[in-house]
Amino acid sequence: MTVTTPAGFAAAGVACGLKKSGNKDLAIVQNLGPLTSAAAVFTSNRCQANPILWSKQVMADAVVEAIVLNSGGANCYTGSQGFQVTHSTAEAVADALKISAGDTLVCSTGLIGEQLPLDKLVNGVHLAAEALAHADAQTLAGGMNAAEAIMTTDSKPKTCVIEGGTADTGMYSIGGMAKGAGMLAPGLATMLVVITTDAHLTSSQLDTALRAATRVTFDRLDSDGCMSTNDQVTLMASGASGVTPELDEFTARLTEACTSLALQLQADAEGASHDIAITVRNAASEDDAVEVGRSVARNNLFKAAIFGNDANWGRVLAAVGTTGAEFDPYDIDVSFNGVQVCQGGQPDQPRDLVDLTPRAVDIQIDLKVGSHTATIWTNDLTHDYVHENSAYSS
Amino acid sequence: MTVTTPAGFAAAGVACGLKKSGNKDLAIVQNLGPLTSAAAVFTSNRCQANPILWSKQVMADAVVEAIVLNSGGANCYTGSQGFQVTHSTAEAVADALKISAGDTLVCSTGLIGEQLPLDKLVNGVHLAAEALAHADAQTLAGGMNAAEAIMTTDSKPKTCVIEGGTADTGMYSIGGMAKGAGMLAPGLATMLVVITTDAHLTSSQLDTALRAATRVTFDRLDSDGCMSTNDQVTLMASGASGVTPELDEFTARLTEACTSLALQLQADAEGASHDIAITVRNAASEDDAVEVGRSVARNNLFKAAIFGNDANWGRVLAAVGTTGAEFDPYDIDVSFNGVQVCQGGQPDQPRDLVDLTPRAVDIQIDLKVGSHTATIWTNDLTHDYVHENSAYSS
């Protein structure tokens, strides 16, 4: 049920002292081949962490043999010294695994603006390399250790496995792990994700599939509107199954894997008490639907109302009205958990009929101008969110 | 110290039962002339309340004799019935004051999506008209009653007076009142504002001055990123001083009045424990400076950190990085309350040196690419904000 489920991958997660808690804080996922295909998507934040700058260089030839990830520090806004730490980490991995540093991705997550201790990182790489040499690195245990090591404020590790293929093409699998509980906003949602597959696909095929899958999954998760500097989703293929699936079929399975991880991120968002799905229907374009959904997802008054179990649909429409999407402001329908509280821009069913006590909240917004639909996933704004994010670095 | 300080204005505030508390909830400000010049700016939200739709019609000829304002209900998303209530309210004012309904502005504030009771409004208009007939309607008492009547979650009335003019041109005054404590975001900030002056100026001159003043005051207040459906800033000139100031001088004084009211709105923002001024320096353009400042002002993680007295400058840069402004992501300076915590995109002074216990917080962001500056005013994200906005309509 994680990155080691697909054949041809080993993973390890160790504690090297980056986290004051002593918990696991460094992971390596190694692609044992025969293929070394890979694709990655990165944060669209213009302020990018050193590991992002490094990993983009590594992806130039789309060959990846291993990825090393640390929690306990983002290595962002740490200047040339910070970049050197990232580079040296990749070289330590390359030395230990007898691979090229240029084929080694690096991901970091944690507080921005603090230098990472290179000695601890290098020690962690050695510990992880030892673990990778053991047989259980290719089993569930190895994958789960890695998933634990990338956690920050996450309350639990996040993993998934999807089986793909057909009787005709043969079967393959996709495994994934993710971390992320805050700074969860699109382009990408704030997180680190590693997805593995034993399907036999080229890097170019992986890239096409990954962009298609993230566009409708991680890019539509917007927990708190705050985009991180360290987001990275990496997909690696070992080809070890020997199966080359149809790309459409693989993309569909990959999208299922990304959806599973995105919903796990949403469910574990810092301080959240509701998981909110905002579906915008009958928009003139998919972009319009996304823009409207995201505007509502980022409206603090709406999010606070959901926390208070208050079906305050006026706040939904006030947020819709700030967008440039095509609609008639006075002909919109809104429903909360199946109760249509607004029809044609006027009150319909009493808001008191809406039951917002379940964690899952379904908001439907009908723009009535086209045929496009999109769903944005977000969370409510709670006391615990404020608490956790006012105390994070202290 | 309010809208009745300038000569030629009367004001009243009464209780007519719109608020369950029994507090004052309806105000009228009447321009007694000799001029009936006026200008107004409205919310840029595309979902606009019925009073906004009405008031835009009234402003077509830029003649305003009176403005009626109610709290206790926004009359937004109430359909044709709601528009009829607004229209009938204007007609009731016109009847009572012997003026034209077409010269009567209407403003409403409160919950969206609920019909206002017309009988109570009409009764309130009659009570206010009686009060306007008394001598004290042209004194401080009348103005303060009006300022109280437009409060919603405001903890105190917000008023200002600015004296203008020169020995050459003669002296005049500007008075203002405002309400607003939540949904405080630009274009305009969520609020109702009435500003009066006894300067002798045309509606066209007032419009020029008002747009210039609001652009650098109310439009730069962004307490919670949530734009209202009911924002309206109205400026009325009676000409009663007989003084025609230079337009530049009048605009400068009007900007002072708007700044005073905007800062009073910020200081009373729902649940806030810090008033934050985010100044962006050396931007390539004023628009860039505003975009960067607003992005930081809307970042929940930054706002929660300030609540926690945490100088988490990484969250500032992560927010800067989501903008399209011109800058080098790795050459930005950031200071918190005079302590430069980031220089050239790298850690500078320890964040522990920053004292964030005072309510006033000064954030300086130096983009180092041009010569333009702008300041955005915002608030922190607190437990009380979440509490007040999760319980507002219940």
The alpha carbon of residue A11 is apart from the nearest alpha carbon of chain B, in Å, by: 31
Cis peptide bond prior to A34, omega within 30° of 0:
yes
The pLDDT value given to residue A145:
93
Confidence band of B184 (pLDDT split at 50, 70, 90): low
The verdict on a CB contact (< 8 Å) between B114 and A381 is no
pLDDT of residue A66: 94
User: Helices A383-390 and B383-390: crossing angle, nearest 10°?
Assistant: 170
Question: In this predicted structure, what is the pLDDT of residue A133?
Answer: 92
Contacts of A308 in chain B (CB under 8 A): 389-392, 394
Tell me whether residues B304 and A389 touch, CB distance under 8 A.
Answer: yes
Interface mutation vs chain A, best among B44, B47, B315, most A CBs within 10 Å: B47
- Which pLDDT does position B386 carry in this prediction? 82
Interface-testing mutation among A390, A393, A394, with chain B (most B C-beta atoms within 10 A) = A390
Instruction: Looking at mean pLDDT, say which of A390-394, B121-125, B209-213 comes out highest.
Output: B121-125
- Cβ atoms A54, A64 nearer than 8 A: no
The torsion angles phi and psi of A145, rounded to 5 degrees, stand at -60, -40
For B266-281, what is each residue's pLDDT tens digit? 777 778 899 999 999 9
Contact flag B79-A345 (C-beta cutoff 8 Å) = yes
pLDDT for res A188: 39
Q: Identify the active-site residue in B109, B190, B196, B214.
A: B190
Name the residue facing A318 among B229, B320, B329 (closest C-beta). Answer: B229
Find which of B226, B330, B333 to mutate to test the A interface (most A CBs within 10 Å of its CB): B226
B259 flagged as catalytic: no
The Cα–Cα gap between A69 and B366 comes to: 32
Grouping H, G, I as helix, E, B as strand and the rest as coil, residue B300 is helix
Residue type, B244: T
CB-CB neighbors (< 8 A) of B385 in chain A: 300, 304, 386
Instruction: Identify which of A295, A263, A270 has the alpha carbon closest to the alpha carbon of residue A360.
Output: A263
CB contact (8 A) between residue B111 and residue A323:
no
pLDDT, tens digit, 9 for 90 and up, residues B298-332: 888 898 889 989 898 888 988 888 888 999 888 99
Between helix A79-97 and helix A118-133 the angle, nearest 10°, is 20
A269 to chain B, closest Cα gap in Å: 13
Residue in A48, A115, A386 nearest the CB of B307: A386
Q: Which residue of A has its CA nearest to B324?
A: A46
Record the pTM.
0.76
Of B47, B111, B320, nearest to A321 by CB-CB distance is: B47
Q: How many CB atoms lie within 10 A of CB A191?
A: 29
Spell out the domains of chain A, with CATH numbers in brackets: 9-267 (3.60.70.12), 275-390 (3.10.20.340)
Catalytic residue selected from A36, A86, A152, A190: A190
Listed ranges A31-35, A278-282, B205-209, B372-376; the one with the highest mean pLDDT? A278-282
Taking only the tens place, the pLDDT of each residue in A68-78 is 999 988 888 88
Q: What is the pLDDT of residue A223?
A: 67
Beta B333-336 vs B360-366: how paired, if at all?
A: antiparallel
Inter-chain contact A386–B298, Cβ cutoff 8 Å? no
Give CA–CA dist B162/A329, Å, rounded: 39
- B39-97 tens-digit pLDDT: 888 877 777 889 999 999 999 998 999 999 999 888 988 888 999 999 999 999 999 99
Residue B188 confidence (pLDDT) above 50: no
Per-residue pLDDT at A160:
87
Smallest Cβ–Cβ distance between B113 and the set A45, A314, A320 belongs to: A314
pLDDT class of B226 with cuts at 50, 70, 90: low
A9-14 and B192-197: which strand pairing?
A: unpaired
What pLDDT was estimated at residue B185?
Answer: 52
Please give the Cα distance from B338 to B345 (Å, whole number).
17
Assess whether pLDDT exceeds 80 at residue B162: yes
Tell which wins on pLDDT, B209 or A269: B209
Residue pair A10/A31 in contact (Cβ under 8 Å)? The answer is no
Between chains, do B226 and A183 touch, taking CB under 8 Å as contact? no
Among residues of chain B, what percentage have pLDDT more than 70? 95
By CB atoms closer than 10 A (0-12, 13-18, 19+), residue A338 is exposed
Mean pLDDT per 10-residue segment, chain A (394 residues): 89 94 94 89 79 92 93 86 95 97 92 88 97 90 92 84 86 86 50 85 90 81 70 82 90 87 80 91 94 89 89 87 87 94 89 92 96 90 82 50
CB contact under 8 A, B347 and A387: no
Degrees, nearest 5: CA angle A152-A156-A157: 85
> Under an 8 A CB cutoff, do A308 and B346 touch?
no
The answer to whether the complex's ipTM is over 0.95 is: no
For residue A8, the model assigns a pLDDT of: 92
Chain A: residue whose CA lies nearest to B314: A112
